[in-house]
Amino acid sequence: MSRISWRRAVAALALGASAVLLSACGSSSTESQLQPARLLVFGDAFSDVGQTGARYTVNDGTTNHWLLQLASDYGRTLTPSASGGTGYARVGARIAGKPGVTGDATTLTVTEQVDAFVAGGGTFASDDLVILSGGMSDALFEAKAFLAGTQTADTAVANARAAGTALANLAKRLVDAGAKQVVVVGAINLGITPWGQATGQYDTLNAISRNVNDAFLIDSVNLGLGSNVLYVDAPYYFNIAAEDPGNFSMNNSKGVACTSVDAGVGIGIGAGEVNSALCTTSTIASGVSYNSYMFADKLYVTPNLQRLFGTYAYDRIRNRW
């Protein structure tokens, strides 16, 4: 496919996938036929609902995660697989590559999370809602290698595109295994994160993140996944939040609300960085109202925006099924 054709195809897919965001937190009035019996979640830290007992946001005792909001909107609960639940996502997980972005070779990839579910006798019922939320760790892994000078920007983009292809193939595998409703959540643009902003490499980080999503969109069409797969455009949503935080009841989209520094690898951007999984209401920067901030740490967002995105995802799903 030529570069022009590629871009046109992605543009068309993005238009179809992302209706105009009329309101940051408005709810749909569409009558939905789907009432999922359970949510099955495979992904990275963005969708980790507490594998180690905490989430990547401010752990304030509220419905502080977008997937918990989504589950609540459906009248369902969601717990991590470590506690016997159906949330298999975990920090550091890449779609198919090893090691994880934190450097841990034992971290289950998103593909291996699906493998573990199936190996444990898991099957997909017609009323399951399956969430695939990978790509952010892959983009971060490639971006870090580029910034370290161990690969070129072109190689990082090519590897990101390969990760997006792997995500499309994984979505097809789920559909072939009987999943009727598969929601794929795009990788957030690393360029807008406080970590990305500090690098001064917005264009490259944006390109790496975008190519994960672009490859998924193109390959999902080539694989004929349209009727069973819905793309929820997280980068679109969070780009708007970063550009106009006031529209999301925030006043800061550049700083970090938490002070919970992790001496270890934490969220995968290096030792000695703030890790929001360690963040509570007792570890908030002085004078900061944390829900007025977009970011809890340098990658992951605060409970307010988590909830708003959960409702956005819920509306997108209800408009589809």
Q: Does the pLDDT value for residue 15 go beyond 80? A: no
Q: Token pair of 31, please?
A: 């009558």
Q: What is the pLDDT of residue 24?
A: 46
Which of 2-6, 226-230, 257-261 is least confident?
2-6
What is the model's pLDDT at position 228?
Answer: 96
pLDDT at residue 6, as a whole number = 44
Q: What gap in Å lies between CA 205 and CA 146, rounded to an integer? A: 9
Give tens-digit pLDDT for 240-294: 999 999 999 999 999 999 999 999 999 999 999 999 999 999 999 999 999 999 9
What digits encode the pLDDT tens for the residues 137-185?
A: 999 999 999 999 999 999 999 999 999 999 999 999 999 999 999 999 9
Q: In what order do the strands lie in the sheet with 128-133?
A: 38-43, 128-133, 182-185, 229-232
- For 258, phi then psi, to 5°, come to -90, 160
pLDDT band at 17 (very low <50, low <70, confident <90, very high): very low
Q: Find the helix packing angle between 110-119 and 153-176, rounded to 10°.
A: 20
Confidence class for position 204, pLDDT limits 50, 70, 90: very high
3-state secondary structure the chain: CCHHHHHHHHHHHHHHHCCCCCCCCCCCCCCCCCCCCEEEEEECHHHCCCCCCCCCCCCCCCCCCHHHHHHHHCCCCCCEHHHCCCECCCCCCCCCCCCCCCCCCCCCCHHHHHHHHHHCCCCCCCCEEEEEECCHHHHHHHHHHHHCCCCCHHHHHHHHHHHHHHHHHHHHHHHHCCCCCEEEECCCCHHHCHHHHHHCCHHHHHHHHHHHHHHHHHHHHHCCCCCCEEEECHHHHHHHHHHCHHHHCCCEEEEECECCEECCCCCCCCCCEECHHHCCCCCECCCCCHHHEEECCCCCECHHHHHHHHHHHHHHHHHHC
Query: Is the per-residue pLDDT at 31 higher than 60?
Result: no
Tokens 């006031």: give the residue: 246
Percent of the chain at pLDDT exceeding 70: 90
> Per residue in 93-116, pLDDT tens?
999 999 999 999 999 999 999 999
Which pLDDT score is estimated for 29?
Answer: 46
- The pLDDT score that the predictor gives to residue 36 is 97
Q: Which pLDDT score is estimated for 145?
A: 98
Residue 30 has what pLDDT?
47
pLDDT of residue 20: 39
Token pair of 103 as six digits = 């450097």
Phi first, then psi: what are they for 75, rounded to 5°?
Answer: 70, 30
Q: What is the mean pLDDT of residues 293-312?
A: 98
pLDDT at 226: 85
pTM for the model stands at: 0.91
**Tens-digit pLDDT profile for residues 206-222:** 999 999 999 999 999 99
Residue 32: per-residue pLDDT: 61
Phi, psi of 212, rounded to the nearest 5 degrees: -60, -50
On the question of pLDDT at 194 being above 60, the answer is yes
